[in-house]
Amino acid sequence: DPDMPFVPSIPEDQFILVEEGDSTIIPCRTSDPNAQVTLMNSSGKAVFAVYDSKQGFTGSFPAGSYTCKTMVKDVEFKSDEFLIYILRATSELPVKIEAIKTVYKTGETIVVTCVVFDNEVVNLQWNYPGKVKEKGLIKLDDIKVPSQKLVYTLTIPEASVKDTGDYECTARQATKEVKENKKVVITVHDKGFVHLEPRFSSLENVDLHEVKNFVVDVQ
């Protein structure tokens, strides 16, 4: 088709997600198999890559926008813009689980954090006592600086004794089929069980060289 030398692309083809170090295809295909096609980056410079009219350009490309161009009877045509995003993914999956504390009283808010380092292509699942009743809020923070980490935070408001048990996060590397599992045990008591009776005020003064004893009764 001399009026449309580039096969129209669908929106899904224009956003290309690539793992760090992998090759990919920029799918600017032509209706003329003999067309001479040039790949251009966002700076307008030609990029060398292997071309197949039925697939497009194949290679390892930096993140950014790319456009293909060709000439038909001295008229220049440009393809749609293709955007490449580079995702960090490693064969190892460093995961750490953290809890502010592991012993709570009824009514307090449980907070458990699962951190995945150096990976962006991750599926993460939580298992915990209140999951069946869909009790809990999950938040994700994608931190890039100073290093890549995904911070998944599980929050259980108004904890009860039934929330006692194993809190487990399982991270899966979405493309390399690597899995890592971490667990922490949380205990929720019906009520506080330590009672303190200080025999001194919150602010005490002492003279130089004076020895002063502080006594606390613990029940």
User: What pLDDT digit, counting tens, does each position of 82-119 carry?
Assistant: 999 888 777 788 999 999 999 999 999 999 999 999 88
- 111, 170: one domain: yes
- Residue after which a domain boundary falls, among 35, 69, 87: 87
Q: Please give the tally of structural domains in the chain.
A: 2
- 57, 123: one domain: no
Residue 120's pLDDT band (cuts 50, 70, 90): confident
- Residue 37 confidence (pLDDT): 94
CA-CA distance, 117 to 33, in Å (whole number)? 45
Domain annotation covers residue 51: yes
CB contact at 8 A, 70 and 30: yes
Domain annotation covers residue 139: yes
- Residue after which a domain boundary falls, among 87, 107, 142: 87
Domain annotation covers residue 212: no
Q: What are the start-end ranges of the E strands in the chain? A: 15-19, 24-26, 37-41, 46-47, 50-52, 56-59, 64-72, 75-78, 82-87, 95-99, 103-105, 110-117, 122-127, 137-143, 149-156, 165-173, 179-189, 196-198, 216-218
Domain annotation covers residue 185: yes
User: What pLDDT digit, counting tens, does each position of 28-47 carry?
Assistant: 999 888 889 999 999 989 99
CB contact at 8 A, 169 and 126: yes
Which amino acid makes up residue 176? K
Q: Residue for token digits 């999950």? A: 138
- 99, 178: one domain: yes
- 38, 76: one domain: yes
CA-CA distance, 89 to 84, in Å (whole number)? 16
- 66, 102: one domain: no
Residue 195's pLDDT band (cuts 50, 70, 90): confident
- 100, 78: one domain: no
For residue 120 the two structure tokens come to 């962006």
CA nearest to 31, candidates 70, 72, 1: 1
Residue 214 or residue 105, greater confidence: 105
Which amino acid makes up residue 94? P
Residue 193 has pLDDT above 80, yes or no: no
- 42, 102: one domain: no
- Residue 112 confidence (pLDDT): 97
CATH number for position 20: 2.60.40.10
Domain annotation covers residue 197: no
Q: Residue for token digits 């667990």? A: 183
- 107, 171: one domain: yes
Provide the residue range defining the domain that includes 156: 95-189
